[in-house]
Structure 1
Amino acid sequence: MFAKPFRVKSNTVIKGSDRRKLRAEISNTYPTLSAEDLSELVPNKEELNVLKVYAHKGDAVTIYVLHRNPIFFELEKYIYPTVYTLWRYPDILPAFMTWPAVLQKLAGGADLMLPGVVVPPEGLPDVNQGDRCAVTVVKNRAPVAVGTAAVSTSEMLGLAMKGRGVSILHAYMDSLWAFGDKTGPPTILPLHNMEFAEEECTSGGEIEEEASASQDGDPETDPPSDGLKELSLSQEESEGGQEQVDEEEHLEDNRTPQGDCAPSPHEQMDALLVRCFLHALKSKVKKSELPLLTSTFLRNHMFSCCPSGKQLDIKKSSYKKLSKFLQSMQQQHHVVQVKELSKGVESIVEVDWKHPELRSFCPPEEGMSEDVPTQDAGHSDMPYHPPEITLLYTVTARLEPLFHGSQKKKGAVLSPGEVRTVVTEYVKKNELVDEENKNYVNINPTLCDCLLDKFEYQEVGRLKWDDLFSRTMDRMQQCYQLQFPGREPVIRKGQIEPIDISVASRGSNKKVTLMKNLELYGIDPATVAAALQHRVQASSLLSPVPGSKDKVLVQIQGNQVQHVGSLLLDHYQIPRKYIQGLEKAQKPGKKK
């Protein structure tokens, strides 16, 4: 249907009532989606657009677009997910498996023919004629096409797997996919390990012929594109990977169950999750802490157990969410017991401390790193050291007569101690100390011009020492010096701005934490953003500060003032007086 570009008739923002109807329709059509999933797909406040389009054959289609990606399309009052949605929720539709070489035909408008369907060990999915279904390729469970079953499963088997299997409506690399951000399919490992013979992977002449026969035009004979090559694993690469594993013994632990290639990123992140999970229970969590909030367990315990040089990111695992990972640890491994003690808030209520996996786990001896970087501004190989900040004063034209005797001209930079010394020497040299009370200094014409206001000329005849010093410094221009270890000191005019932390509201009343002025203290904003993103598992954003050429604003999702303060105070060792906004941290037990 979307093999060729479509024509957009209208593009509008969905109304509130239509938004609720859409959410209800999706919930009824795809009951496996949770309430949280529905809120992510059809959020209450974020902009959701509705496009009325005409396909190249004249079919009227409604497309729902969120964050510039099409998420659902509606045809003849039936709603279908796009591949972008299926990559996030791959199990909401029954799926038929095919070979990667067939994908090019599907994107060109062909239907999936039954000879091209790979039958897994558990058999074909049970569908009736007209049921919505997806198409995947071998060794990757991420759907690459959406359509309807041409016949029921029983008829497919009765036809000896000959004829049309799935009528394709939308596929990866078609015009509907190209309407989005054009990202490729993720790697989602199959639920069951399958081995494929070489002749099955390299044949497919009959498959491609039947797929091409279902297209509108002439059969396509071009070889698969580069995108298809990324989806398939050639036999030569598989054999080469095996030889490398045999030759290098230290890679044996990284082999997959089939032994033909290194573990996928999902498998690596899954293994890291389990490792940090067991390490946290073994060495961080105490019985007295139970029940323990699952979010606290992740933030305060699991992240701190992540090995140095690695980053724990649940979204890059096959679980995607902490709740699903802990559910697996509870139901399949029986290590912990998780309960929802209050609505929407899960806690670990019990740990099987005698579990064999937990008892046999030995925490690694290698150094652990929480998540804080060691990058200094412009010196990525050096650990960060806070600058030594010195308050300085510059001689102004008005005060030049006062400093003339000390050879300090206009623009000379002095420390507070040097200012006091110069003023003291001037007073003693001119014998201005009051004989009756040595706590006072008599005012001469030079001090009068330099330190007194006009209305004080006739009224003030003497000043206390402290008042004399404070008036002198008040009439000097402030500046400050930054001294980083191993670097030349830098002197800048004005008062040093503190690191400013604030909390703002964005769309749908979501909170974000903002930080600026990090560069003044030699801190790389990108490094801080990455560290906080790792700590709190929230998205971050860097943007220029309005009205400034060289300042960057760091934005992190949620009220993260407490974590920002901990990072700046504990790791970067910035004095508290140079941090503004720490009082805006979220109060315990309250949501802001």
Structure 2
Amino acid sequence: MFKKKPKFKPLSPLRSSDRRKLADQIISDFQFKTGNGAEPQNELAAVRNSLLPESPLVAKFTTTAGPNLKAVSGTVYVGTHPGEEQRILWTGSLMRVVLTVYTLWHNPGLVPLLHTPEFVLQKLRNGADLMTPGLALGPPFPTAATKGSIVAVASLSTPSVPMVVGVCEIDVGELKAVAGEKGKAVRGVHWEGDELWAWSSGGKGGGAKPTALEGWEPNNEAGVQDLAAEIDQLQLQMEDADIETEDGGGVPLGDVEGSNRGHDTLDEGEDLPSSKDKQVEGKELSTKVLPFLPIFTPAQSSSLQLKKTSWKNAKKFLKSLDKEGLIKTKDRSGGETIVLDVDWDNSAIADFVPYQLPTKDQSSSEGRAGPVSRLGHAGQELRRIGLFKPKEKLSPLFEAAEANPKSFYLASEIRPIVTAYVESESLVSTENRRLVAINPFLANAVFDSDSRADREVIANGAVMRDRIIDRVLENCSPYWALLRGNETKDDIKSKAGRAPNIQIVLETRSGNKTVTKVSGMETYYVNPSTLADELQKSCASSTSLGQLVGSSPKNPVMEVMVQGPQTQAVVKALEKNGVHRQWIDVVDKTKGKKKR
């Protein structure tokens, strides 16, 4: 919940009047009702005890929040439910009162309940926000889940046990569909496993979650049952696909009856089947993979769901290869399977030709008219050059040297132009060839500043030739260009100013978690989406792609974020794409300021 672990001050008893006021405020804000049929006064007391048990304690805390780690303070309210330890039940921070999971577990229906798969909930426990596609069991969703409202999130595996408390970023209750949607749905503010959950007066850590709770009925009970049935059916299918079955729990590497052959087994004169001859976009392919390969479109590639087959289990995959005679395996205690030998002479390995799957670059350009995208590829050769365009006052110098004053020049090309000018004007000293006399033009156009050095040059009447070259470069407008392959500076349009570098920024998020952000790679023809995929594999970590904050919506700059301190991995990935190390700036915001 916090960027930094909070510091709690000593607990003190909460006065009865303050307890009643706080409980009544919570009842009003959350519109809590028990409906137990008791007398109104007794019912109100029961509600207060349920939300904030008697003899509560209160304490102040301090921590930091926001990207700038601004110091904030708040209040925690500690109470004890019957038969349990003291826990933080409520916290007042960020201008509102927020409940914890311990309060949710004792007050069914207090806030709208949303659901998400267990693997998504694991991300939420690490401080991630719940994205719209991660919502489950809907639509419809609870109508009370409106933008700005507090909601609870539970896993599909335990749909009646809230595990996360968050704030809706959108009107979730009005969603008509979640497939294909983008953006945040719920911003997490507290979850099982954070500092509030783990606090204990005895230092024993957080309390165990219940296995099921009455009163927290899912919004779509039929959906939960259908989902459970699908999971059971999938498990049965995986059990049926045992290693002793015909296909060994997967797809054999040999020929499959009725399947299309790979491009390495075509008959002489036979053409590859076109994408029109094999339409598989209309369904999700998950049972077998090889019969549908090779594939020819990104849509066909995305339809193959290997993770939904029994081959997602590495043990069954290895056993299927053992049955084919490609490898020899042995089972060890603890469920491990080790590979003892590989038959490298087997034709299935020796003659294997990888399938050519469509890449994301192909997907982005498929069906697009016009020129090919400027985005490059791994292994591209890049050269960044600095150019100089003479200002108008330097035109006589370039014209005297028979050079175009409106062209762009490299720094190395300026020297012969200056040499040609001083020789044409007979300004070279006969005693020292490196010494050049100052004529009125050089005094007015080159050494025209009011600096002490320029005044001394004019007073002396002579200056070294290298000094003239430096001053001419200073009086030119800077430009730059990025060349690929055999391109020259005349092949592309130069850009004004200094060349921007790629930015790598290390930041701390969710307390002590470090992330690495990369932006500006498009300038160097690096595809942000492809870079994100490369970093996901090389860093073995999750990555995300989004628009850089502050960039123009018309010309957005994309930012790749990878979990962990991955500076070296990012630099290596950029170098593989032709980016030189000196074109990269690294900013580490995780290091604290030094104390004076």
So what's the TM-score if we normalise by structure 2?
A: 0.46
Q: Which has the higher helix share?
A: 1
So what's the TM-score if we normalise by structure 1?
A: 0.46
